[in-house]
Amino acid sequence: MEHTLLLLTRDDERRAYEEQLRALKLPGLEIVAPQSERALREDLGRVTIMLAHPGLARRYINDAVNLRWLQSTFAGVDALIGPDLRTDYILTNVKETYGAVMAEWVFAYILYFEREVRENLEAQTARVWAHHPYGSVAEKTLAIIGTGSIGRHIARVARAFGMKTIGLNTSGAPADGLDETFGPAHKSQFLQRGDYVVSVLPSTPVTRGSLDADSLAGLKPGSVFMNLGRGDALVEQDLLKVLRAGRIRAAVLDVFSIEPLPKDSPLWNEPNLYITPHVSGYSISKQIFRIFAENYRRFVAGEQLMYLVDFSRGY
């Protein structure tokens, strides 16, 4: 049976995705990568498979009447889950794909703070030769909220730096790369121990708004909070209150409740708040194409696909 695949990615990624897809030479697969809305709409009715950015696919999912399977290029698929969106197709995401680049993002900032990069740049600008002791990453505690594949990869990198690693998940079950794990009942104890607290939570009915005033009040004084999971897990106004009270050293946010972040958002100019535009995992990983190729083989053979998403749970 022949299948038609619709490729939906950002404009700056389309060519690279299309080249790597065609290089797979998958049998019985026609690839369409329209460059205009009109062309996309003309192809939509015959599409049986999508390889897609979830946020882009959301606009077309209900009109792709013959769609049988969508392979997300992201781990997070919350954009495709909602009461107004269909669920009568197979949805798969990616795992073990973005952990490495997102760990690099985390440690770019951990090292920025520990080795006082900003202070040295300010001293250079002022032409001041100043010696003072640095902090060290070793023996500090990294607290990771969410122990999926990305959280575990960040933990493994942290341990290579000599950090202690603790994790928070829904069950408190042990996870690879983490020295200890905590369940929801011990969330406060978990947060109080983190010198650096990193959230990689997905967007689900349970996680939305879970990082609120009560949670943030439990952060260790002088700690650094980072969010690179989903923006709606964090109540941003509550974080601003914690920062303005001087309870924590800094916060670093890569994801936000509204994206792009509005120009009038108070987050832009908040001292000790560092912003990146949802780029911690902005990478085209070859693993995406390996996952797609294997899932396509399984799809054609009528076998169960890898990384199936449960619509009711959101992941």
Residues with a catalytic annotation lie at 230, 259, 278
CB 231 within 8 A of CB 255: yes
Give 65: exposed, middle or buried? Use CB within 10 Å, 0-12, 13-18, 19+.
exposed
Q: Which residue bears the tokens 């599409």?
A: 47
Distances (CA, A) of 88 to 61, 127, 199: 10, 64, 31
Structure tokens at 276: 């990146």
Structure tokens at 66: 């013959």
Q: What share of the chain is helix, strand, coil (3-state, %, to 5)?
A: 35, 15, 50
Phi, psi of 31 (to 5 degrees): -105, 125
Question: Which is nearest to 291 in space by CA: 35, 95, 17, 11?
Answer: 95
H runs (alpha helix) in the chain = 14-23, 37-44, 54-57, 99-114, 117-125, 149-160, 187-193, 213-216, 236-244, 286-301
Q: Which residues contact 139 (CB under 8 A, 6 or more apart)?
A: 162, 163, 164
Q: Which residues contact 116 (CB under 8 A, 6 or more apart)?
A: 134, 135
Report cis status (omega within 30 of 0) of the bond before 54.
no
Query: 3-class SS at 27?
Result: coil
Question: Which is nearest to 134 in space by CA: 149, 119, 147?
Answer: 119
